[in-house]
Amino acid sequence: MRIAAFNVENLFDRAKVFNGPEKDAHKDVLDAHGALNKLFQKEVYSETDKVRMLELMTQLGMLKRDEGRYTRIRKIRGQLISRPRAPKVPYIKAKGRADWVGWCELRMEAVDEIAIVNTARMIRDLQADVLAIVEAESRPVLRSFQDLMVDKLDLEEVYRHIMLIDGNDARGIDVGLATRNGFPIGLMRSHVDDLKPDGHPIFSRDCPEYEVTTPAGNTLMVLPNHFKSKYGGNDPVSRAKRLAQATAVADYYWRLIDEGYENVVVLGDLNDTPDSAELAPLLVDTDLKDASDHPAFTEFEFNAGNGERGIGTHGLGNDDDKIDYLLLSPALFAKITSGGIERRGIWPGSRPPRWEVYPELTKKHHAASDHHAIWVDVDI
């Protein structure tokens, strides 16, 4: 059977700042978006905080109204900002977090149609029996995307079972699981309500546990993940959240082992590199093994230069771009027969291209994702 993970970066609707040929030019937008939300969370807004909020809102084009080109202020109740008529200038009215409920969100727009079909090609060519899909909008969207695959690529039904549990991200980017006929999803456990000691949720999305039965009658426990991103700045708060997430997932893994499960896989976008302290609870303090360390994991590697294997899973695939993982329990790792990275729908650079791509991928914004798909075959 084949197990795979793919961060599709949304199937039909994607944050506008990520969509289109200019997407690499807008890190300043992401930084400002992240900084503004951090200020919004403060219990008390100092005068310095208020000045900085106005600066960031100006940068994002939201000083005069709640909606800018790439972002909007989503207000549920209360009032954050007062915008009096000229010549008076806007000012922050709220004194702190308790005075209003809302946040700054990224505006969404439709994904380029060619990019959508290239995503479908990637999923088709992965040929996974068990596929973790990261950054999917909802279970109905996953169903609709399967219908698109059947229509555009002239396929039979791709996946018999599709599941997604809504997480905590207001942008609607969650983790889902799709399995083929003969691999039913049984027991499901959500951790969406698990809290850190400070009372905040551990997971921005969720770390669901899915029990999958194979045609041979064996049991596979699948834990899809999408850890805290470094977008908006890899500050101590972001690093602490990834550390808390890795620690929690490690605890779930040990519990499953204690419960008698031998075949366990933790997979998805962990948003950090193997040498990071934030992932150490998973990569160092458990006996989980990285599939890319197996001798049979070779397909679609490339010579990236400087002695690198070319096993990165983001951007141009450099080794230090490895942020997507298949982490297997020792019993499952021992059953690996082959593995690799599917890159054909990912932009390969141009001087020269680092890998072969689909003929339809002629422009960077037609790429299926910035993330490469990772897969492994196991004999169970």
CATH code of 131's domain: 3.60.10.10
Q: Which domain holds residue 172?
A: 2-13+111-378
- The pLDDT tens digits for 283-316 are 999 999 999 999 999 877 676 666 677 889 999 9
End-of-domain residue from the set 92, 108, 124: 108
**Given pLDDT bands bounded at 50, 70 and 90, which one contains residue 52?**
very high
Residue 169: CB partners within 8 Å, gap ≥ 6?
A: 204, 205
Domain identity same for 218 and 305: yes
Name the more confident of 326 and 172. Answer: 326
Whether 18 is in a domain gets the answer no
What local confidence, expressed as pLDDT, does residue 233 receive? Answer: 64
Domain identity same for 205 and 135: yes
End-of-domain residue from the set 82, 108, 134: 108
- The pLDDT tens digits for 162-182 are 999 998 886 678 999 999 999
What local confidence, expressed as pLDDT, does residue 34 receive? Answer: 85
pLDDT at 20 over 60: no
What local confidence, expressed as pLDDT, does residue 341 receive? Answer: 96
pLDDT above 70 covers a percentage of the chain that reads 93
- The pLDDT tens digits for 94-112 are 999 999 999 998 887 767 7
pLDDT at 258 over 60: yes
Domain identity same for 76 and 119: no
The CA distance from 28 to 25, in Å, is 8
Domain identity same for 87 and 181: no
The CA distance from 377 to 380, in Å, is 9
Average pLDDT of the segment spanning 12-21 = 67
What local confidence, expressed as pLDDT, does residue 83 receive? Answer: 95
What local confidence, expressed as pLDDT, does residue 283 receive? Answer: 98
- Which residues, listed in sequence order, are joined to residue 175 by a DSSP beta bridge? 134
Q: Report the chain's mean pLDDT, rounded to a whole number.
A: 91
Whether 308 is in a domain gets the answer yes
Dihedrals φ, ψ of 336, to 5°? -65, 135
End-of-domain residue from the set 108, 133, 165: 108
What local confidence, expressed as pLDDT, does residue 14 receive? Answer: 66
Average pLDDT of the segment spanning 271-290 = 97
User: Dihedral of CA 119/122/128/132: which sign?
Assistant: negative
CB 107 within 8 A of CB 13: no
